[in-house]
């Protein structure tokens, strides 16, 4: 893809962003906490982390719906932490040399991600009374020229591609409580633009920088992205969720859910669909999960 087509993408996405509603209160009705019926579904059953495991089979309908609420708090918390890193990283790259052509869209990106965090945090705090803590720790290290930018935008794209599979499905799921369905649908609507932008920019950065990298750096980038996919999935199996859902041993639940073949197959299928473009662009060589 030529730099012109990246610029054209930026122009088109910026135009759409300018016409999109910004205020989360305009697009989402927030019931009073006391009037929110907790017996509704807040996460699609098939996307609940323990779905397909013996634990899921052992739960009655009430317990499954209770779990679906705390899974929503967990999923939105994961989004909040992901978007905090994203906002921080994008703000640092505004008008950075080499990224001037995408600066206008980065402003829209920042604006929209900030609004997304408001939706997610409003739900978590209003109805769950908490945002689950982040378990990620970053270790500073040296990078080859362009490597840190490529890794940052590739991590953002991977995170958003995986999350969007959930948002897309749950935004159309009539079983869900309206507030949960609306949050997912709103996020999906705007993430669609971010996904297009992310793919174009990552492919552009790869073609720009990778030819100048050593084989060791290229291998390191691929290993890092594969590790990031695994680490992202790991956070979907959150002991804090299981604790609040009343499970007696939340850590064993997290371990058993993660290890179960049904959840491994779910992760592999969804990852393959979400990240096919990384293989097609030559950024990843082999399937991350199988």
* Contact set with another protein (CB under 8 A): 133-140, 223-224, 227-228, 230-231, 234-235, 239-240, 251-252, 254-255
Closer of 140 and 261 to another protein (Cβ): 140
In whole angstroms, the minimum distance from the beta carbon of 211 to another protein comes to: 25
DSSP per-residue letters across 54-106: HHHHH--HHHHHHHHHHHHHHHHHHHHHHHHHHHHHHHHHTT-TT-GGGHHHH
In whole angstroms, the minimum distance from the beta carbon of 69 to another protein comes to: 20
In whole angstroms, the minimum distance from the beta carbon of 113 to another protein comes to: 21
In whole angstroms, the minimum distance from the beta carbon of 155 to another protein comes to: 10
Q: How far is CA 226 from CA 119, 148, 164, 284, 286, in A?
A: 29, 16, 19, 8, 9
Closer of 93 and 224 to another protein (Cβ): 224
- The total number of residues shown for the chain amounts to 290
Closer of 68 and 232 to another protein (Cβ): 232
d(CA 42, CA 38): 8
DSSP per-residue letters across 214-228: -HHHHHHHHHHHHHH
In whole angstroms, the minimum distance from the beta carbon of 244 to another protein comes to: 12
In whole angstroms, the minimum distance from the beta carbon of 163 to another protein comes to: 16
Closer of 106 and 275 to another protein (Cβ): 275
d(CA 170, CA 45): 10
Which residues are CB-contacts of 45 (< 8 A; sequence separation ≥ 6)?
Answer: 51, 64, 68, 175
DSSP 282: T
Closer of 198 and 239 to another protein (Cβ): 239
d(CA 14, CA 203): 19
Closer of 201 and 229 to another protein (Cβ): 229
């Amino acid at each position: 893809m030529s730099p012109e087509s990246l610029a054209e993408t930026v122009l088109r996405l910026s135009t759409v962003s300018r016409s999109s509603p910004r205020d989360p209160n305009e697009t989402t009705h927030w019931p009073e906490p006391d009037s929110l019926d907790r017996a509704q579904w807040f996460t699609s059953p098939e996307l609940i982390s323990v779905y397909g495991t013996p634990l899921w089979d052992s739960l009655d309908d009430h317990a499954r719906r209770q779990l679906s609420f705390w899974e929503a708090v967990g999923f939105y918390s994961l989004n909040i932490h992901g978007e905090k890193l994203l906002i921080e990283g994008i703000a640092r790259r505004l008008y950075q040399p080499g990224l001037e052509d995408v600066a206008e869209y980065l402003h829209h990106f920042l604006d929209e991600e900030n609004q997304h965090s408001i939706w997610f945090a409003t739900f978590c705090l209003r109805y769950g009374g908490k945002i689950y803590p982040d378990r990620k720790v970053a270790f500073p290290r040296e990078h080859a020229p362009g490597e840190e930018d490529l890794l940052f935008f590739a991590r953002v794209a991977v995170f958003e591609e995986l999350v969007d599979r959930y948002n897309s499905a749950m935004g159309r799921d009539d079983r869900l409580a309206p507030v949960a369905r609306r949050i997912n649908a709103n996020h999906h609507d705007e993430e669609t633009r971010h996904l297009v932008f992310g793919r174009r920019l990552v492919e552009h950065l790869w073609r720009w920088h990778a030819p100048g990298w050593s084989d060791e750096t290229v291998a390191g980038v691929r290993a890092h992205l594969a590790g990031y996919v695994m680490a992202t999935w790991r956070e979907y199996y959150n002991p804090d969720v299981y604790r609040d859902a009343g499970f007696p041993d939340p850590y064993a639940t997290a371990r058993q859910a993660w290890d179960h073949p049904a959840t491994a197959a779910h992760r592999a299928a969804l990852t393959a669909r979400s990240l096919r473009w990384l293989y097609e662009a030559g950024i990843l060589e082999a399937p991350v999960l199988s």
